[in-house]
Amino acid sequence: MAVKEISQAVIGRLPRYFRFLGELKDAGVERISSQELSQIMNVTASQIRQDFNNFGGFGQQGYGYNVEYLYTEIGKILGMDKTHNLIIIGAGNLGQALANYMNFERRGFIFTGMFDNNPELYGKKIRGMHVRPMEEMADFVRRNNVDIAVLTIPKTSAVKVAAQLTEVGIRGIWNFAHVDLEMPADVKVENVHLSDSLMRLSYMIGRSDENE
Ligand code: NAI
């Protein structure tokens, strides 16, 4: 399927479609209209049709969408038909919490190794994986086909470590450090700031207080 340049806003909505469709598929639903999907997902049917039209539509007039097909196609667009080996850099609170969350593996993200620069953590076992010294990182990445690095280290060292990751051929960085990383075009970065989400919640609470 030829895919034209898609806006970030549409791409940002795809994981949610994928998640809902996965749940429908697991519940045994075979087909669904854009109207029904819109009710379940609380978005307009025209938004759904517009989003899907970026990829050729997926639907059939008068039939609705085939859930399994739509789930598979959106999964392919998101690269969910492939697996990714990932390492976590920073075996502190956040790094360990992510390592212990098994569900990423269901989506094809395989936790392959964990690194830190604190000697006290070397050898510590986290979900069956030993924490390794940073000195072993480059060799490990090359040997294990690692393409994603999760950065759960302080912002003071994130830029330097990101540069090291680029050198060893990492393709994507899931960045939790509070710093904007400027990477070469072939290294993709997804920044995650949980506090942004909390601030949005705070804003919504504030707005509802004003309206009472
Ligand atoms: P932590 O202090 O428990 O863990 C940080 C780990 O990184 C430590 O084990 C430390 O030894 C290691 N480290 C430091 N410099 C390193 C380097 N150059 N190479 C390898 N390892 C190194 O901290 P925590 O709570 O796990 O948070 C980690 C980072 O994530 C912090 O910078 C924090 O601000 C950030 N954070 C971001 C969130 C977000 O939503 N983006 C949410 C929570 C934390």
Q: Kindly give the confidence (pLDDT) of every residue in the chain, 212 residues in length, as a single tens digit, with 9 standing for 90 and above.
A: 455 678 889 999 999 999 999 999 999 999 999 899 999 999 999 999 999 988 887 876 678 899 999 999 999 999 999 999 999 999 999 999 999 997 888 889 999 999 999 999 999 999 999 999 999 999 999 999 999 999 999 999 999 999 999 999 999 999 999 999 989 999 999 999 999 999 999 999 998 888 77
Protein residue with least CA distance to atom 18, ligand 1: 157
pLDDT for res 172: 97
Domains, the chain, in order of start with CATH, read: 8-77 (1.10.10.10), 84-195 (3.40.50.720)
Q: Read off the amino acid at residue 120.
A: E
State how far the Cα of 174 lies from the Cα of 149, in Å rounded to an integer.
Answer: 6
**pLDDT value at residue 206:** 92
| C-alpha to C-alpha distance for 64 and 13, rounded to whole angstroms | 20
Cα–Cα distance measured from residue 66 to residue 128, given in angstroms and rounded to the nearest whole number: 40
Predicted pLDDT at 195: 92
Token pair of 62 as six digits? 């008068």
How big is the chain, counted in residues? 212
Which residues have CB under 6 Å of ligand 1?
89-95, 115-118, 121, 134, 152-155, 157, 161, 176-178, 192-195
Could you tell me the distance, in angstroms and rounded to a whole number, from the CA of residue 153 to the centre of ligand 1? 3
Tokens of 156: 């003071």
Which residue, judged by its Cα, is nearest atom 31 of ligand 1? 154
Q: Are 106 and 80 in contact (CB under 8 A)?
A: no
Which ligand 1 atom sits nearest the alpha carbon of residue 157?
A: 18
Q: Whose CA is nearest to atom 32 of ligand 1?
A: 154
